[in-house]
Structure 1
């Protein structure tokens, strides 16, 4: 059994990972921590920062810095989760890809490799309604899904 856990850096995805690890421990399953970095997010943040600061000529520098921070942040979180898996004696690995989140998640989740997909109910925005990415992928992911709140 292989469990795919979608990790986006939110507290909800961290809770989802902990649930997946608990299931994997009971079922002797393997956990794959999966995250997608979308460059468009860094571009949007850089543009916003440049517009607010009045330094539109610095947008490329802002984007590069934000992109680097995004990569480091998700890598750190995934390394921490990986370390926790190893302490719990759960077989675990991580996979980080760049692209459009919806497309990459559907490609990975529907690859035929997974028995279960686990994800948080909400994303990084922490809004009280169901996450927009979850709304986009929920009906299209083929394996059973566990949505953690």
Structure 2
């Protein structure tokens, strides 16, 4: 039913909780998992703005080094996730993207032609009563395929579309 699954991760506790669900999908017919981590360009810009005293070429060079380190760190973590998924008997590949997380997740889902998105949500916005975070909420609203959202409190996950 869900042969190819997208697993977006921000490496949070909730993301790793979603990985536990991913591992069980082999029994449901999942053959391949695409893992994506998005470097949120707003966070990169925020760090750059905080050290805005660097001027011109030095700032561009610093931005490139910062992004390079962030990519390397993410790739190391993704390699560990790929091992877990492959160990569960599924094909897996991973990529690091840069942009707005929900936009990149939706674009990856479309490009990879996945049949399900499985993601963790921790409600970073801290809005009172928020059940899911802004990224997962936007993916849920705009996705053309089912989305399984795993939260801190998830015991029995539910799928929305």
Q: Aligning the two structures, in what range does the TM-score lie when normalised by the shorter sequence? A: 0.7 to 0.9
Aligned partners of 1:131, 1:90: CA distance in 2, in Å?
28
Cα distance in 1 between the residues matched to 2:142 and 2:28: 25
Q: Which runs of 5+ in 1 are unaligned?
A: none
Equivalent residue pairs, number:
143
Contiguous gaps of at least 5 residues in structure 2: 152-161
Shift of 1:20: 1.2
Q: Deviations over 1:1-57 (max 9, x none)?
A: 11111112222222212311221x212311111222233421211222x26xxx444
Matched, 1:31 2:13: no
Question: Is 1:84 the equivalent of 2:84?
Answer: yes
- CA contact 2:17–2:150 (8 Å) conserved in 1: yes
Given that residues 28 and 90 in structure 1 are in contact (C-alpha distance below 8 angstroms), is that contact kept between their aligned partners in structure 2?
no
Change (3 A) 1:126 1:75: farther
Counterparts of 2:5 and 2:112 in 1: how far apart (Å)?
11
1:37-76 to 2 correspondences below 5 Å: 37-48=39-50, 50=51, 55-57=53-55, 59-60=59-60, 62-76=62-76
The residue matched to 1:105 in structure 2 has which SS? helix
Q: Which runs of 4+ in 1 moved over 4 A?
A: 55-62, 125-128
Q: What do you get for the CA RMSD once the two structures are aligned?
A: 2.5
